[in-house]
Structures are given as C-alpha cells and as structure tokens.
C-alpha cells in the first residue's frame, strides 16, 4: 500500500482508533459474542433515483406515482443487499410531502409491496431531519431486537406543485407563526443572515462562500444521481440573481424530487452475507430547545446543536474529527456547509470558507465534504435528503463511487438538521470489507 503526505498520518490514526474501538467493546464484532445489549446495525443495500423532476402536473395525461417509483427501488435495494423479502421485519418511511394524494402512505406501501412486518410500519416527519429520523427508527427496531432486517425509505415530490402553494406550505409556515411568519422570514432569509454575520465576524467574503457552490458542482459533475451536473465557475455563481443577499441562485438549494430505499440489518446478518457493508458505528443528537431563529440572544453562527451532537457521536465511536475521511453534510446553502463543518470540528472555526477556496474540502483534499455534490447541486428533495447522504456514504465506503471515490475511505460522517441547525443528528459510519 502506498502513502504520501497526510495519508500516512490518517493511516496511523486509523490503526489507533481501530485498537480503541476494539478496546471499547462496541458491537458483536468487538466482543466476539452476542447479547441483546450489544447489537450493531449495518447498511447492506441501497437504491435511489437521480434527483430531479419526477412529479407530473395534476392534469397530465400520464402520471408518475410515488408508490410505483418507490416500489421499484425496494426491489433494487433488496437485490443489492442480497436478502430475501421474507427477512424484512420493519418499514420506516419518511413522510411524503402534503402534495402526495395517497395518505397513510406507510401502511398503503406495506400492502402494495405485500410485506407483512412483525417489527413496525411507521411514517416519520421531522422537517429536514425527516429521513434521518426514519433511518433512526429502522435502526432502533434492529437494536431493540424487533427486526433482523429493516427498510428506511421514502419519496419526495414537489417540483410540479405551484410556487405559491409550495412557498406557503414549505417556506413561510415553518417559522414561529406569532413572531416570524407575519414578517415573511423564510429559511433562505435566516441562512442569509448567517452569511452576513459570518462575513462580518471572520472577515470572509461572498466570493469565499460562493467557492463552496463551485466545489460542490465539480463533485456533482461526477455523480449520476445529481440534479445539476454542468460545471460552473466562480464568475458563474456571482453572476446569478440574488435570492436573499448575500446568497444568489447557485448558492441556495433547488426544488427537487427524489426517492431512496436503504436496507439495514443486524450486523450478524450483514457479516453472514459475505460482502462489503457499512457499520453504523455511532450517532449523536441534540435539540437546543429553539425554533429557527431564537429570541434568546446567542451566537447565531456557532451551531451549538451540531457541536453537541458531533461530540456525542465522536465519543461514542471512540474517534476524533481528524479521523473522518469524508463527510456528507445536510447544508441547504453554502454558508450552512461552512458553519456545520466548523461546528463538527472538521475545519477550524472561521476557516470553513477558506478551506473551500484552498481545496481542503474538495475531492483529493484533506477532508472532502459533500462528495455527492451537496444540496445546491446534487439537489434537495427535503424529506428524503438525508437518505441521499447515506447512499453517498455507502457508495464511498464500499468503494463504488467511481471517479469521485475518496481514496482509502474507512470512516464517514453524515449530518441532518432541523431548522437553522436548531437540532442536529450526526452519524459516524465505518467500512467493513
């Protein structure tokens, strides 16, 4: 094996953390035995449609139906996992957008797929964290011994819904109905306030923040699942119309449709399949007890929930941010990627934008971030967006990411959020080959 530069340092750290992990006795692999309290969860299969426009207008002669699209992915994901449909004990769905005509979607899909389940069949809603919480539900059914194999899955259709309906349903109504909604404050507006504060506090610039969009588009150009794949330059980003100053069109997420199915299993099942899989090594969660923009004075760009959730995940995994090989972050706007990468300790505070400018967070850099293309370019089908992060992490950790493959990737980090990172969910994932 050949190493150069920082790679040899990562190799040494990797051996150290493997020893620490074994010493902590996490999971069956570490202890050599099994008990109800030492189950570990693995991701063993995945399937996803390219992010883009799938929803058909209500009056169209032919309709693309959410359940039909998702059912095909279930077949593909189960085949990828190498398990039988009879092994599946739980279904954890991210809730559909309100525009989806079929209500009680989870139980409808259990019928449509002819999948009787002895674990649970559930439908989860948690704003941008929706798919992350559905993933947690599937994992918890395994950890609690309710299922050996569980599906975490969902579909998000929104692109053919009118802009006015989408704005009222998904943008204006998410804020505090007493304090924020009457003034028209939208998520992009509060992210823009974060950007303005960051530029002021750390002497950064719009150009530095915009470099994140350029980097993410370069990654997306290598990802067949990405919504926007045409390379762009910094000049292209700066030339776009302003959405909320200082964030322009290419620095905010598009409206997107998407669908994903993940297959999770107890690690003994994964090990018995004799093929590479991804171990869920640790997770961390924290809700700071605030909604979107808090009326309590605080450091608005510290992302305290991400800091706390990240520390919990690293401690549970027995690793540090320096051990992470790449990260898939839930970051709707360029400024959010900068702030959460700092909050999680992947880059120093105040250095996130500069890290993008200098190539540290690009493929081939010290800590590649959003190798899928990020939410600005891979796309943002909000209720399933965290699922796409797990898909990218799985592809990388199984060595199947093609031209965007992170060399020697063994540890990944994913994040999901509620609001302006008022809550954060962080997972540390590990390759098992």
SS3 41: strand
Q: For residue range 50-65, what is the model confidence (pLDDT) as tens digits?
A: 999 999 998 899 999 9
| 3-class SS of residue 228 | coil
- 48 in a structural domain: yes
> Quick check: is 20 in a domain?
no
* C-alpha–C-alpha distance, residues 302 and 300, integer Å: 6
CB burial of 409-422 (b: ≥16 within 10 Å; e: otherwise) equals bbbbbbbbbbbbbb
| pLDDT tens by residue, 256-280 | 999 999 999 999 999 999 999 999 9
Instruction: State the pLDDT at residue 8.
Output: 44
Q: What percent of the chain shows pLDDT beyond 70?
A: 91
Number of structural domains found in the chain: 1
Average pLDDT for 162-183: 78
Q: What is the mean pLDDT of residues 155-174?
A: 84
Residue 172 lies in a domain: no
**pTM exceeds cut of 0.85:** yes
Percentage of the chain modeled with pLDDT above 90: 81
Per-residue pLDDT, averaged over 79-100, amounts to 95
What pLDDT is attached to residue 38?
79
- Domain annotation covers residue 202: no
Q: What separation in angstroms does the CA of 67 have from each of 5, 53, 108, 277? A: 49, 16, 9, 27
pLDDT band at 152 (very low <50, low <70, confident <90, very high): very high
pLDDT, one tens digit per residue, over 311-335 is 999 999 999 999 999 999 999 999 9
Could you tell me the residue range of the domain that residue 115 belongs to?
A: 28-160+255-432
In a domain, 3, yes or no: no
Region 180-184: mean pLDDT is 76
Q: Please give the span between the terminal C-alpha atoms of the chain, in angstroms, as a whole number.
A: 16
Please, are residues 367 and 344 in contact by the beta-carbon 8 Å criterion?
A: no
User: What token pair was written down for 362?
Assistant: 């690009």
CA 101 to chain centre: 26
Question: Is 224 part of any domain?
Answer: no
In a domain, 137, yes or no: yes
pLDDT at 26: 39
- The pLDDT-based confidence of 175 (bands split at 50, 70, 90) is confident
Q: Which helix (H) or strand (E) holds 281?
A: strand 277-287
194 in any annotated domain? no
pLDDT in the model for residue 2: 35
The whole-chain average pLDDT of the chain stands at: 91
Residue 412, pLDDT score: 98
Is residue 9 pLDDT above 80, yes or no? no
Confidence at 13, pLDDT banded by 50, 70, 90: low
> Domain holding 342: CATH number?
3.40.47.10
């Amino acid at each position: 094996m050949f190493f150069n530069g920082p790679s040899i340092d990562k190799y040494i750290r990797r051996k150290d953390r493997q020893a620490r992990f074994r010493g902590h006795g996490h999971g069956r692999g570490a202890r050599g035995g099994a008990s109800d309290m030492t189950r570990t969860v693995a991701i063993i299969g995945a399937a996803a449609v390219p992010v883009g426009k799938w929803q058909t207008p209500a009056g169209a002669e032919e309709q693309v139906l959410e359940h039909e699209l998702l059912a095909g992915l279930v077949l593909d994901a189960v085949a990828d996992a190498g398990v039988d449909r009879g092994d599946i004990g739980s279904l954890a769905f991210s809730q559909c957008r309100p525009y989806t005509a079929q209500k009680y979607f989870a139980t409808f899909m259990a019928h449509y797929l002819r999948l009787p389940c002895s674990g649970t069949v559930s439908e989860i809603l948690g704003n941008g964290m929706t798919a992350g919480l559905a993933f947690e539900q599937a994992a918890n059914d395994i950890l609690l011994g309710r299922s050996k194999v569980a599906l975490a899955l969902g579909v998000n259709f929104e692109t053919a819904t009118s802009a006015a309906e989408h704005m009222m349903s998904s943008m204006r109504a998410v804020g505090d109905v007493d304090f924020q909604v009457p003034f028209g404050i939208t998520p992009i507006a509060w992210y823009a306030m974060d950007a303005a504060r960051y530029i002021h506090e750390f002497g950064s610039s719009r150009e530095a923040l915009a470099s994140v969009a350029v980097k993410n588009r370069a990654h997306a150009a290598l990802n067949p699942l990405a919504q926007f794949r045409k390379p762009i330059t910094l000049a292209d980003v700066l030339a776009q119309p302003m959405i909320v100053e200082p964030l322009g069109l290419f620095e905010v997420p598009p409206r997107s449709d998407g669908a994903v199915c993940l297959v999770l299993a107890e690690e003994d099942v994964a090990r018995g399949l004799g093929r590479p899989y991804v171990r869920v090594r640790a997770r961390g969660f924290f809700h700071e007890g605030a909604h979107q923009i808090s009326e309590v004075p605080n450091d608005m760009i510290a992302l305290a929930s991400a800091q706390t959730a990240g520390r919990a995940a690293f401690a549970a995994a027995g690793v540090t941010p320096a051990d992470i090989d790449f990260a898939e972050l839930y970051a709707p706007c360029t400024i959010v990627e900068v702030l959460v990468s700092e909050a999680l300790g992947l880059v120093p505070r105040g250095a996130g934008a500069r890290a993008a400018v200098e190539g540290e967070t690009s493929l081939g850099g010290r800590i590649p971030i959003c190798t899928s293309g990020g939410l600005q370019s891979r796309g943002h089908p909000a209720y399933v967006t965290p699922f796409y992060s797990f898909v990218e992490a799985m592809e990388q950790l199984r060595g199947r990411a093609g031209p965007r493959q992170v060399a020697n990737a063994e540890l990944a980090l994913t994040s999901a959020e509620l609001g302006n990172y008022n809550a954060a969910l962080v997972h540390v994932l590990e390759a098992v080959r």
